[in-house]
Amino acid sequence: MKVLKFGSSAVASAQRIKDVASLIANAKGKGNIIVLSAMSGTTDMLIEIADYLYKKNPDGAKELTNSQERKYLNLAKELFNEKKTEEVTVELKNFFDEIRNLSKDIFTLFEEKKIVAQGELIISYLFSEYLNEKGINAKSISALNFMRIDKNEEPDTKFIKENIAKEIEAAGNADFYITQGFICKNAYNEIDNFRKGGSDYSASLIGAAVQAEEIQIWSDMAGIYNNDYKIVKEAKPIEKLSFDEAAELSYFGNGNKILHPTCILPAKLANIPVRLMNIIQPETCGTLISTDFTPNKIEAIAAKEGISAIKIKSGRMLLAHGFLRRISEIFETYKTPIDMITTSEVGLSVTIDDNKYLDDIVNNLKKFGTVTVHKDMTIICVVGDLPDENIGFQAKIVDALKNIPVRMISYGGSFHNISFLIHTADKADALKALHKALF
């Protein structure tokens, strides 16, 4: 059994939905699970509808809801014959009535989550109907009956495993089971979700729960690229990555956020390969993420902009203990994660990618030393199998960056990554220079 996830770009139009249907109809093996996420743009639109309701503007919400409804009615016309369209129209109206009914009284996070869930519920309904019209034996199973998070917002893996098995059994034999990504129930049995882009995570959790032979993430991209393909023309999709390499890389995205960072862990723990597939060229194999990797090979270069570096210099740090704890407590107070960190005997530098509380953080850090902030920085990282026995890779990388001012260097946090902090103005030059030197 395989888990196949088709996300926003893979179901972005009637044509794409038809393509996906014929693609899976040809797929071998029975009982595969299809995980769907909302059509591209829908979730953002639903979030906007909720925003109007928070702002007590029900007319704004209604206008957006009606225009979304029209969009889906048109989609139905493209997918189905006249008679079936009539039936589907009634059902679609029910989905949008649900949104309109939630617009009435008080509006809280609870109502917002219900509205946002409709994107996945609608597409899975339409897709199941479409497959059945084509004579494909596909059965729907609702993620709301098996996908659950606990009080700490962590997936309740035992519950998921038991209940997905029950759902599949209750649905009976089928060639495909269709379900929703992204949405779940929380510990209070309310509708919840895995945050933006979270349907990859759903696919990975489902794959782990059913011990799938493979998890496939389908999009309109050919895989994870070995550099930012928008900047470096020679960038190519990577053939294979280890789970650890992929985890390092998914944070950066390389211009194509095709794999959500949270997706790696459940697959890694259950040791299930994750394959990134391309809906436009389904016959080619995209990036394969598994325990298999090429020893000593540099696989990718990646960059992340919008980074701020904070340096704290203090004579008190010399031979003192507890300094790092006091510094990190400040970031903890402001719920701001630290990404990169470098230290010396008399100071340290850290980077953050969220400036929301930067001023407060800096004010507090001043109690411990002299603080300097650099904004508009970029982390450049090189990812691959880079253990300390793999000698020489650092020299090659540093040499490639010889004309670029480097603000921080970090290696050893893992043996899969070496990171550099540079000015964003130098990003394109750095990516190109590294590509030339390393590939």
Q: Could you list the residues that contact Mg ion (CB under 5 A)? A: 7, 197
Restricted to residues 36-55, the positions that interact with ligand ASP (CB under 6 A) are 37-38, 43
Tell me which of ligand ASP, Mg ion, none is bound by residue 179, counting a contact when its beta carbon lies within the kind-specific cut-off of 5 to 8 angstroms: none
Restricted to residues 189-208, the positions that interact with ligand ASP (CB under 6 A) are 196-199
Considering the complex, state which of residue 118 and residue 254 has its C-beta at the smaller distance from ligand ASP.
118
Pick the binder of ligand ASP from 9, 119, 273, 348 (CB under 6 A). 119
**Smallest separation, CB 118 to ligand ASP (Å):** 11
Identify the CA nearest to 37 among candidates 5, 13, 79. Answer: 5
Task: Count residues binding ligand ASP (CB under 6 A).
Answer: 12
CA distances from 213 to 217, 238, 272, 305, 333 (A): 14, 21, 6, 36, 42
CA 113 to chain centre: 18
Q: Cα separation of 287 and 3, whole Å?
A: 16
- Whether 237 contacts 299, CB under 8 Å: no
Considering the complex, state which of residue 257 and residue 407 has its C-beta at the smaller distance from ligand ASP.
257
Q: Please report whether residue 125 would count as binding ligand ASP according to CB under 6 A.
A: no
**Smallest separation, CB 113 to ligand ASP (Å):** 12
Considering the complex, state which of residue 197 and residue 273 has its C-beta at the smaller distance from Mg ion.
197
Considering the complex, state which of residue 36 and residue 121 has its C-beta at the smaller distance from Mg ion.
36
Q: Which residues contact 360 (CB under 8 A, 6 or more apart)?
A: 334
Considering the complex, state which of residue 6 and residue 331 has its C-beta at the smaller distance from ligand ASP.
6
Helix, strand, coil fractions of the chain, as percent rounded to 5: 45, 25, 35
Count CB atoms within 10 A of the CB of residue 404: 16
User: How many H-runs (helices) and E-runs (strands) does the chain carry?
Assistant: 13, 16
DSSP type of residue 315: G
Considering the complex, state which of residue 197 and residue 286 has its C-beta at the smaller distance from Mg ion.
197
DSSP states along 30-80: SSEEEEE-PPTTHHHHHHHHHHHHHTT-HHHHHHHHHHHHHHHHHHHHHHS
Considering the complex, state which of residue 196 and residue 367 has its C-beta at the smaller distance from ligand ASP.
196
Tell me which of ligand ASP, Mg ion, none is bound by residue 198, counting a contact when its beta carbon lies within the kind-specific cut-off of 5 to 8 angstroms: ligand ASP
Restricted to residues 247-306, the positions that interact with ligand ASP (CB under 6 A) are none
Tell me which of ligand ASP, Mg ion, none is bound by residue 32, counting a contact when its beta carbon lies within the kind-specific cut-off of 5 to 8 angstroms: none
Backbone angles phi, psi at 340, to 5 degrees: -115, 150
Restricted to residues 5-24, the positions that interact with ligand ASP (CB under 6 A) are 7-8
Which single residue is written with the structure tokens 């999009």? 219
Q: Cα separation of 113 and 49, whole Å?
A: 11
Element (H, E) at 116: helix 109-133
Element (H, E) at 343: strand 341-343
Rg of the chain over CA atoms, in angstroms?
Answer: 24
Considering the complex, state which of residue 185 and residue 432 has its C-beta at the smaller distance from ligand ASP.
185
Binding mask 150-189 for ligand ASP (x = CB under 6 A): -------------------------------xx-------
Element (H, E) at 202: helix 199-209
Q: Cα separation of 77 and 81, whole Å?
A: 7
Considering the complex, state which of residue 10 and residue 149 has its C-beta at the smaller distance from Mg ion.
10
**Smallest separation, CB 178 to ligand ASP (Å):** 16
Per DSSP bridges, beta strands 2-6 and 32-36 are: parallel
Tell me which of Mg ion, ligand ASP, none is bound by residue 347, counting a contact when its beta carbon lies within the kind-specific cut-off of 5 to 8 angstroms: none
**Smallest separation, CB 230 to Mg ion (Å):** 18
Which residues face 2 on adjacent strands? 214
Tell me which of Mg ion, ligand ASP, none is bound by residue 417, counting a contact when its beta carbon lies within the kind-specific cut-off of 5 to 8 angstroms: none
**Smallest separation, CB 264 to ligand ASP (Å):** 15
**Smallest separation, CB 197 to Mg ion (Å):** 5
Tell me which of Mg ion, ligand ASP, none is bound by residue 410, counting a contact when its beta carbon lies within the kind-specific cut-off of 5 to 8 angstroms: none
Tell me which of ligand ASP, Mg ion, none is bound by residue 366, counting a contact when its beta carbon lies within the kind-specific cut-off of 5 to 8 angstroms: none
Considering the complex, state which of residue 125 and residue 182 has its C-beta at the smaller distance from ligand ASP.
182
**Smallest separation, CB 147 to Mg ion (Å):** 17
Identify the CA nearest to 73 among candidates 58, 59, 52, 87. Answer: 87
**Smallest separation, CB 298 to Mg ion (Å):** 26
Q: Which residue is nearest to Mg ion (CB)?
A: 7
Residues within the interface to ligand ASP (CB under 6 A): 7-8, 37-38, 43, 119, 181-182, 196-199
